[in-house]
């Protein structure tokens, strides 16, 4: 068995304010194998984006990564220098952000923004970099890439800009791509095109992908494995087939039940009762307990620790019985 590409243990990221330090990410464990696509799913405020940024040490004050190990190819990124991290970012670990309208600098040309990703990591000529950038654009299906490189972000549609971001991520043939809800801001047809591209490119280049999303349908289509996040921790993780077909955590079951595909046409959409607890009012015991239909007395006292059943692990005192379908 080969060692994983990325192994995260007990990652904890807090946000400081006058009253204290509030954990947005509270003991996250993750494993990403080389070349696989791991979906990290959760609702708004569950800490999934913060997890992504914590991995590459891009958490700005008042946020701070306070605990945990982030082992990337055997190197602990938590102890890496800022210069070492800069060398890794965009080179070994690329990122794609959520809103393509905001992530490209409006006053710099696409060519410059793509080339800098190359030139900051490798010593090649500008011409060489431009050629690579054009090839990358062609690869994600952007026609006449040479002409496009001279253009500016406002001359691209949202979907095109996200393709530019994907092409940029691929430039240095990274080992890992962290994609933070990259299709959320796009319409559905563009979304499935992008998903298809990413899956294809991941296979071609062997890059592993950590795909952060709130959309289980995307995970089902794209990912090999899934980790479900709630209130700053992973509550259930396993292969996509295991977790989506046989969820053990009531939260995962609720998420699956609330998707439009799970109900008959004309029926009212189901939802999980209540709201995700905010960062400074997490309940004692299991954080999902106040919203859980299966809660027991023990749930308000003891925080469940992960229990696993082969590759499938979940944190619940009273898991959904095996074999029940959503």
Partner 1 sequence: MTAYVLQRLIQSILVLLAVSIVVFLAVYGIGDPIELLVPPQVSAAERAAMIRRLGLDLPVLQQYLVFLGNALKGDLGRSFVHGVPAVDLILARLPATFELVLLAMSLAAVVGIPLGLLAGLNPESRPSRAIMAGTVLGFSLPSFWKGMMLVLLFSVALGWLPTAGRGETVSVLGIQTSLLTLDGLKHLVLPALNLAIPNMALMIKLVAAGTSEAMTQDYVKYARAKGVRPKRVVGRHVLRNILIPVVTVAGMEFGSLVAFSTITETVFAWPGMGKLLIDSIYQLDRPVIVAYVMLATLLFVAVNFLVDILYAALDPRVKLTGEMV
What's the Cα-to-Cα distance from 124 to each of 92, 121, 127, 132, 134, rounded to whole Å?
Answer: 17, 9, 8, 10, 15
How far apart (Å, rounded) are the C-alpha atoms in residues 251 and 293? 10
Of residues 84 and 203, the one with the C-beta less far from partner 1: 84
* Residue 245, phi then psi, degrees to nearest 5: -90, -35
Q: Closest distance between partner 1 and the C-beta of residue 250, in Å?
A: 35
Q: How far is the CB of 121 from partner 1 (least distance, A)?
A: 6
Residues making contact with partner 1 (CB under 8 A): 56, 58, 86-91, 94-95, 97, 99, 102-109, 113, 116-117, 120-121, 152, 154, 165, 168
Which residues, in sequence order, are bridge partners of residue 263?
none
Query: Contact at 8 Å (CB) between 223 and 37?
Result: yes
Pick between residue 95 and residue 276 the one whose CB is nearest to partner 1: 95
Q: In the bound complex, what is the minimum distance in angstroms from residue 211's beta carbon to partner 1?
A: 16
Residue 58 vs 124, nearer CB to partner 1: 58
Determine if the peptide bond prior to 62 is cis (ω within 30°).
yes
Choice between 93 and 272, CB closer to partner 1: 93
- Residue with smaller CB distance to partner 1, 150 or 203: 150
The Cα-based distances of 180 to 15, 26, 162, 166, 309 in angstroms read 20, 19, 12, 12, 29
- Alpha-carbon span 290 to 274, nearest angstrom: 8
Of 83 and 322, nearer to partner 1 (C-beta) is: 83
CB of 58 to partner 1, least distance (A): 6
| Residue reference for tokens 């709201």 | 275
Nearest approach in angstroms of CB 201 to partner 1 is 17
Displacement of CA 12 from its chain's centroid (Å): 16
Q: Between residues 116 and 221, which has the closer beta carbon with respect to partner 1?
A: 116
- Closest separation in Å from C-beta 170 to partner 1: 12
Dihedral over alpha carbons 257, 260, 263, 269 (to 10 degrees): 80
- Residue with Cβ nearer partner 1 (205 or 258): 205
Shortest separation between residue 72's beta carbon and partner 1, angstroms: 14
9: Cα within 13 Å, side-chain hemisphere: 6
Q: Which helix (H) or strand (E) holds 250?
A: helix 250-257
CB of 14 to partner 1, least distance (A): 19
| CA-wise closest residue to 113 among 160, 147, 164, 62 | 164
């Amino acid at each position: 068995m080969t060692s994983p590409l990325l192994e995260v243990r007990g990652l904890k990221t807090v946000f400081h304010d006058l009253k204290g330090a509030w954990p947005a990410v509270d003991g996250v464990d993750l494993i990403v194998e080389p070349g696989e696509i791991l979906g990290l799913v959760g609702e708004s405020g569950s800490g999934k984006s913060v997890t992504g940024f914590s991995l590459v040490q891009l958490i700005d004050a008042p946020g701070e990564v306070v605990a945990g190990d982030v082992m990337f190819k055997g190197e602990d990124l938590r102890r890496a220098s800022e210069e070492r991290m800069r060398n890794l970012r965009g080179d070994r670990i690329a990122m794609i952000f959520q809103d393509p309208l905001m992530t490209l600098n409006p006053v710099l040309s696409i060519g410059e923004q793509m080339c800098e990703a190359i030139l900051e990591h490798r010593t090649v000529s500008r011409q060489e970099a431009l050629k690579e950038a054009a090839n990358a654009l062609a690869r994600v299906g952007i026609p006449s890439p040479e002409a496009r490189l001279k253009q500016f972000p406002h001359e691209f549609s949202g979907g095109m800009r996200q393709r530019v971001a994907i092409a940029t991520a691929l430039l240095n043939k990274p080992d890992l791509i962290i994609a933070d809800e990259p299709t959320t801001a796009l319409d559905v047809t563009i979304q499935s095109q992008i998903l298809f591209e990413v899956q294809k490119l991941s296979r071609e280049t062997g890059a592993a992908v950590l795909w952060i999303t709130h959309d289980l349908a995307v995970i089902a289509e794209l990912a090999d494995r899934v980790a479900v996040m709630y209130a700053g921790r992973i509550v259930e993780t396993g292969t996509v087939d295991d977790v989506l077909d046989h969820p053990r955590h009531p939260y995962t079951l609720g998420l699956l039940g609330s998707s439009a595909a799970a109900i008959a046409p004309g029926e009212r959409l189901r939802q999980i009762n209540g709201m995700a607890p905010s960062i400074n009012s997490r309940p004692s015991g299991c954080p999902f307990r106040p919203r859980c239909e299966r809660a027991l007395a023990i749930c308000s006292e003891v925080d469940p620790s992960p229990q696993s059943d082969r590759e499938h692990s979940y944190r619940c005192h009273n898991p959904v019985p095996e074999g029940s379908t959503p």
